[in-house]
Amino acid sequence: MSEERAIQQVLAKYVRGTDKRDGAAVAALFTETGRVEISYNKLGKLEPVGELVGKDAITAAVSQMMKPHPAYGWSHHTTHDHIIEVDGEIATLDAQFVVFEVRGKERPVTGWPEGAFGAQGTVTPIEAGYYRPTLRRVDGVWKIDTLRIVMNLPLAFPGQ
């Protein structure tokens, strides 16, 4: 596998772990001193939103701070247009992302209504931005050292 593909796989595992709310799987992708820096792209100027430092903080944020999926609901992160640069044991990746909220409809006890066909539910884009990780090769494995998440939509938090 090429270095670029191995690096892209790290991001693919990150988004899948995040979609599953599997904090341990996500944290395992980071170096021991890994960090996540989240900012909002406010009219072209990055506005810091938050920072997670260390595997324990990353695990807790993914497992406990992200909104749980409702019944018949999931999230799907997609990443696009990966720009990857490798310089020895350090690499950078810049990828666009969109997060979709997927809500399946519950099948009625009496069955689907007449005329119903195909997938039943909705898929709605809810987040967009850029993932910009810096990775470091640790014992032959690419790990995220710093993940910069640049959101293109503002974030609201309870109590703010």
**Paired strand residues for 74:** 102
Residue 128 forms part of a structural domain: yes
Residue 69 forms part of a structural domain: yes
Burial of 52 (0-12, 13-18, 19+ CB in 10 A): buried
Residue 44 forms part of a structural domain: yes
Which CATH number fits the domain that encloses residue 40?
A: 3.10.450.50
CA distances (Å), origin 49, targets 10, 42, 122 = 24, 11, 29
Residue 156 forms part of a structural domain: no
| Whether the predicted model's global pTM rises above the 0.85 cut | yes
Helix (H, G, I), strand (E, B) or coil at 13: helix
Residue 13 forms part of a structural domain: yes
Domain hosting 101: range is 3-151
51-102 pLDDT tens trace: 999 999 999 888 887 777 888 889 999 999 999 999 999 999 999 999 999 9
Q: Angle 116-122-124 (CA atoms, 0-180°, nearest 5)?
A: 160
> In angstroms, rounded to a whole number, what is the distance separating the alpha carbons of residues 55 and 96?
24
111-157 pLDDT tens trace: 989 998 999 999 999 999 999 999 999 999 999 999 999 999 998 87
User: Residue 109 carries which side chain, given as an amino acid letter?
Assistant: V
> In angstroms, rounded to a whole number, what is the distance separating the alpha carbons of residues 123 and 103?
6
pLDDT of residue 65: 77
Q: Count structural domains, the chain.
A: 1
24-33 pLDDT tens trace: 999 999 999 9
Residue 159 forms part of a structural domain: no
Residue 14 forms part of a structural domain: yes
Residue 157 forms part of a structural domain: no
